[in-house]
Chain A
Amino acid sequence: MDLAIETNNLKRYFGDIHAVDGIDLAVPKGSLFGFLGPNGAGKTTTISMLSTVLPPTSGKANILGYDLKKESNKIKECIGVCPQDIVLYERLTARENIHLIAQMHGLKKADYKERTDDLLGRMNLLDRVNSLVKTYSGGMKRRVNVLMAVIHEPELIFFDEPTAGLDPQSRRVVWDFIKDFQKKKSTIILTTHNMEEADDLSDELIIIDNGKIITQGTPSNLKGRLGEGDIVEFKVDEAINREKIIPRIKDLNFVKWVKPIGKRRILLNGLDALRHISKIMDAVKVKMLDISIRENTLEDVFIDLTGRRLRD
């Protein structure tokens, strides 16, 4: 299989902080590859290294057949980066910002002019296209931020949380956008905190925690590892009570797994056991609060692996 990105024990330390601590990646060409992980996991740091702006502390990386250390100039020709923070020239218009990136890639005016307006139109930005970016709302800026990564139609695009802070409608526009590029055989790296986004879009994803990949697979494949069926989540009235009931729940037949999370929450797979659980709770006089039943998500995968939520 042709790989767009291949890394070998890639590391980046900031003093004592092991931001990225030995990552081995194999991203197939043309795939949409998700990075999932809590704050500070090392997603942005990894992207910074792969997009040539941050030198790794150690390890190797090959991007589109070019060596990251020696051929970074070649790599820059073929990538587009949508940074996590909004990075724009505030005193340029949206059009000027986007044109600048096209020009830096050496595109001719004939090649980028129409396309820019086309993209701006799709992002519903055409009516404000001649005002300076500093007068835009946060969501408008974020949409421009995305367009600057794709105007030159790169082979490999990094989207670092492209939809953070967007309303559902704009978010959907950006998703369509990303899917479009995937259809056109661009390879896409996408980081997100949004489970739905990761689940819907990714062909394959990794979950990163503390600078390390803790699991990898397709979304359904990862969720499948938790077993079939829905997830039950509830809260108990007192933290100490949780200790009492967890061993009992574990003993039940239909329960595939049980996880304590936070101080008072319990997560379990085994809807059919619910009736029995109520009985146990009644027996030890523990109250069940906030109960919810849902399909399992990638977040549950993360909880299963780390005992923590992705976001608290």
Chain B
Amino acid sequence: MTNSDSINMKKKKRKNKNVYNLYHLTIKNIKTMFRDRGQLIWLIGYPLLLIIIFSLAFGFSSSRTDYNLVLFNYDIEDSGISGNPANYSLLLIDILETNLSNSIDIIGTQDNFTEEEAIELLEYEKIDAIVYIPHDFTEKIYFGMEPEINITTVPDQIAETVIYSILKQIVDNIIIYHNGVNPSKINSEMELETVKITYFDSIAPGFVISGVLVCISQLALHFAEEKKNGTLRRLSTTPVPRSYILFSGMFSQLIVAFFQTIILLICLLIFGAYFHPNANILLLILIPMLFAFTSLGFGTLLASLVQSEETAGLLAWFIILPFQFLGGLFFYFESPIMKFVPTSYAAHAMRMVMVEGINTWNAIGQDILVLIGFGGISTLLGIILFQRKTAIL
């Protein structure tokens, strides 16, 4: 013994003891976690596997059979041509819409979109072309002049050719029908700066979320291990409050989730997932962290209910899998059930920021509040249960 006055030890103790406890418990958790290779494989390996699978399955754009376009028809004012009821632009549209043999779909007009909106759609290749019919289209045909149509297409030679030739053919037929002589002139140009968002791009943000989701199982496993080995019981003979043991578990998982998020974002970059130029990198880290908090709430609930690692690992997946699929991480679907799955909010917020580049509170504020709500309630319940249920070990 180096110190003989054992009774005096009490006086030397720290004032802010709980923070001190929390700090050392967290360090301990992180050390034990990083010394366990199996856990690390789960944390990065699992989401990485998802990324690889999905990038192989959906990462490449498939060949297209239909071309979507937005059409702006400015040839709708009264042409002022007396005695002529015909409006050739309406005829053109009619033919485009009714002729099922061509591969063109008009998905919008000036009634649904502004020109700016249409250009943005084109930039993201959500449509293949914008068609502008000038105000003098009918007039020019009527007077035997050369009618013009302007189109802007995605930078895809095939799309441009198909759309050009279909329009050219229809307009020239209209002219012939009208006994006209001059063929039409279709001015087409390609929009060079477009971004093609593939299916993979649109679900890419979900991989970060599904990676973070694994911390449900990590936390439950962590406490199941502490229960099984008796270390939780051993800690209970020291003055550290049980809630701090729980918090330290959550903290260390949050720290891990932070590194996990960064690594997964880098993986997505490497795999060529699309990041909007306006995407806010802080939000891209913050949203998964918030979701980690939500997941840890559920993990806490689970941790307080299970005794063995086997049950913890198994039950965690009963939460993780529905959360992944019903949260729409990998497949889009519309269902009221999504409202009850926190994953869908995290995925939505991530998608907004990463793919759409919209960082405003209006766009993601609701998601954030819901995540905090889910996390807060489940953590609170978890803490109560954890204190009670684990009293008898």
Please list the residues of chain A having a beta carbon within 8 angstroms of any beta carbon in chain B: 51-55, 73, 76-81, 83, 85, 87-92, 96, 100-101, 103-108, 111, 114-115, 118, 132, 148, 152-155, 180-181, 184-186
Shortest distance from the beta carbon of B346 to any chain A beta carbon, whole Å: 31
B238 touches A105 (CB 8 A): yes
B9 touches A92 (CB 8 A): no
B31 touches A92 (CB 8 A): yes
A-B contact pairs, 10 of them (CB 8 A): A53-B237, A73-B239, A78-B10, A81-B234, A87-B229, A101-B238, A103-B20, A108-B12, A185-B6, A186-B6
Selected contact of B28 from candidates A83, A92, A185, CB within 8 Å: A92
A193 to B35, alpha carbons, bound, how many Å? 37
- B236 lies within 8 A of chain A by Cβ: yes
Kindly supply a per-residue 1/0 record for chain B positions 1-45, scoring 1 wherever the CB is within 8 Å of any chain A CB and 0 otherwise: 111101101101110010011001100100110011000000000
A155 to B237, alpha carbons, bound, how many Å? 14
Shortest distance from the beta carbon of A64 to any chain B beta carbon, whole Å: 11
| A52 partner residues in chain B, CB cutoff 8 A | 236-237
A106 touches B14 (CB 8 A): yes
- Among A80, A89, A106, A184, the most chain B Cβ lie within 10 Å of the Cβ of A106
Shortest distance from the beta carbon of B299 to any chain A beta carbon, whole Å: 20
A54 to B17, alpha carbons, bound, how many Å? 24
| B3 partner residues in chain A, CB cutoff 8 A | 111, 115, 153
Instruction: Write the chain A residue with the least CB distance to B235.
Output: A104
Instruction: Write the chain A residue with the least CB distance to B226.
Output: A89
- Among B9, B20, B32, B35, the most chain A Cβ lie within 10 Å of the Cβ of B9
A51 touches B237 (CB 8 A): yes
- Among A53, A77, A83, A154, the most chain B Cβ lie within 10 Å of the Cβ of A53
Selected contact of A111 from candidates B12, B230, B236, B392, CB within 8 Å: B12
- B286 lies within 8 A of chain A by Cβ: no
- B337 lies within 8 A of chain A by Cβ: no
| B1 partner residues in chain A, CB cutoff 8 A | 115, 118, 153, 180-181, 184
Shortest distance from the beta carbon of B28 to any chain A beta carbon, whole Å: 6
Selected contact of A91 from candidates B24, B36, B239, CB within 8 Å: B36
A91 touches B35 (CB 8 A): yes
Shortest distance from the beta carbon of A46 to any chain B beta carbon, whole Å: 14
A152 to B1, alpha carbons, bound, how many Å? 11
B12 touches A107 (CB 8 A): yes
A115 touches B239 (CB 8 A): no
B230 touches A81 (CB 8 A): no
A90 to B226, alpha carbons, bound, how many Å? 11
With known contacts A114-B2, A180-B1, A104–B24 Cβ distance under 8 A:
yes
B17 touches A106 (CB 8 A): yes
A5 to B45, alpha carbons, bound, how many Å? 53
* Size class of the contact patch on chain B: 35 or more
Shortest distance from the beta carbon of A185 to any chain B beta carbon, whole Å: 7
What is the count of residue pairs linking A and B with beta-carbon distances less than 8 angstroms? 104
Selected contact of B230 from candidates A80, A87, A181, A186, CB within 8 Å: A87
Shortest distance from the beta carbon of A199 to any chain B beta carbon, whole Å: 25
| A155 partner residues in chain B, CB cutoff 8 A | 6-7
Instruction: Write the chain B residue with the least CB distance to A81.
Output: B237
| A53 partner residues in chain B, CB cutoff 8 A | 233, 236-237, 393
A185 to B6, alpha carbons, bound, how many Å? 9
A77 touches B10 (CB 8 A): yes
A153 touches B21 (CB 8 A): no
Shortest distance from the beta carbon of B2 to any chain A beta carbon, whole Å: 5
Within 8 A of A (CB), among B236-267: 236-240
- B391 lies within 8 A of chain A by Cβ: yes
Q: A91-B35, A153-B9 are in contact. List 13 more A-B contacts (CB 8 A).
A: A53-B233, A53-B237, A76-B236, A76-B237, A81-B234, A87-B230, A88-B231, A100-B28, A107-B9, A118-B2, A132-B35, A148-B234, A185-B6
Shortest distance from the beta carbon of A268 to any chain B beta carbon, whole Å: 44
| A92 partner residues in chain B, CB cutoff 8 A | 28, 31-32
| B230 partner residues in chain A, CB cutoff 8 A | 83, 85, 87
Instruction: Write the chain A residue with the least CB distance to B241.
Output: A73
B28 touches A96 (CB 8 A): yes
Instruction: Write the chain B residue with the least CB distance to A73.
Output: B239
A114 to B4, alpha carbons, bound, how many Å? 14
Shortest distance from the beta carbon of A55 to any chain B beta carbon, whole Å: 7
| B36 partner residues in chain A, CB cutoff 8 A | 91
| A54 partner residues in chain B, CB cutoff 8 A | 392-393
Selected contact of A105 from candidates B13, B233, B234, CB within 8 Å: B13
| A79 partner residues in chain B, CB cutoff 8 A | 237
Shortest distance from the beta carbon of B239 to any chain A beta carbon, whole Å: 4
B6 touches A104 (CB 8 A): no
| A91 partner residues in chain B, CB cutoff 8 A | 31-32, 35-36
Selected contact of B24 from candidates A55, A89, A103, CB within 8 Å: A103
B35 touches A115 (CB 8 A): no
A108 to B230, alpha carbons, bound, how many Å? 25
A25 to B46, alpha carbons, bound, how many Å? 55
B2 touches A106 (CB 8 A): no
Shortest distance from the beta carbon of A91 to any chain B beta carbon, whole Å: 4
Kindly supply a per-residue 1/0 record for chain B positions 268-279, scoring 1 wherever the CB is within 8 Å of any chain A CB and 0 otherwise: 000000000000
Within 8 A of A (CB), among B314-329: none
- Among A105, A118, A184, the most chain B Cβ lie within 10 Å of the Cβ of A105
Shortest distance from the beta carbon of B57 to any chain A beta carbon, whole Å: 37
| B14 partner residues in chain A, CB cutoff 8 A | 106-108
B2 touches A115 (CB 8 A): yes
Kindly supply a per-residue 1/0 record for chain B positions 339-383, scoring 1 wherever the CB is within 8 Å of any chain A CB and 0 otherwise: 000000000000000000000000000000000000000000000
B9 touches A76 (CB 8 A): no
